[in-house]
Amino acid sequence: NAGVTQTPKFRVLKTGQSMTLLCAQDMNHEYMYWYRQDPGMGLRLIHYSVGEGTTAKGEVPDGYNVSRLKKQNFLLGLESAAPSQTSVYFCASRPSGFSFYGYTFGSGTRLTVV
């Protein structure tokens, strides 16, 4: 099925460890976004990309890095995980221009940092 796939779905990290979350979309969308979801705070934008090879910071970028070497993939990296990064991470994509549904979200990655 076409859509946005996030891997892994769950992960437990120790403080200081690193990891990469992968977001892959097969809809040829230009724009991709990484959000984190925390109770009572909604979804906050971490980083985003407006096209292959481009990235930009969102609201809460500290402690994260991203890369978009291929149009279909948007990687979110944690170089040195901290307990404050315990969250559910969502990736989203959308095409350029007008689209009825606009944004397609992945099913999320639940990350716990201990």
Partner 1 sequence: AQSVAQPEDQVNVAEGNPLTVKCTYSVSGNPYLFWYVQYPNRGLQFLLKYITGDNLVKGSYGFEAEFNKSQTSFHLKKPSALVSDSALYFCAVRDSGNTGKLIFGQGTTLQVKP
Q: Which of 11, 19, 20, 31 binds partner 1 (CB under 8 A)?
A: 31
What is the C-alpha to C-alpha distance for residues 19 and 49, in angstroms, rounded to an integer? Answer: 20
Q: 42-81 mask for partner 1 (x: CB under 8 A)?
A: xxxx--x-x-----x-x-----------------------
Cα angle value 87/37/81 (rounded, 5°): 30
CB-CB contact of 66 with 82 (8 Å):
no
Residue 106 touches partner 1, criterion: CB under 8 A? yes
Place of tokens 């909604």: 42
Q: How many residues bind to partner 1 according to rule CB under 8 A?
A: 24
Q: Where are the beta strands (DSSP E) in 16-62?
A: 19-25, 31-38, 42-49, 56-57
∠ CA(114), CA(7), CA(73), 5° rounding?
Answer: 125
Interface with partner 1, residue 107, by CB under 8 A? yes
**From the list 2, 14, 40, 69, which residue makes contact with partner 1 (rule: CB under 8 A)?**
40
Answer for which of 13, 23, 76, 92 binds partner 1 (CB under 8 A) is 92
Residues in contact with partner 1 by CB under 8 A are 31, 33, 35, 40-45, 48, 50, 56, 58, 90, 92, 94, 100-103, 105-108
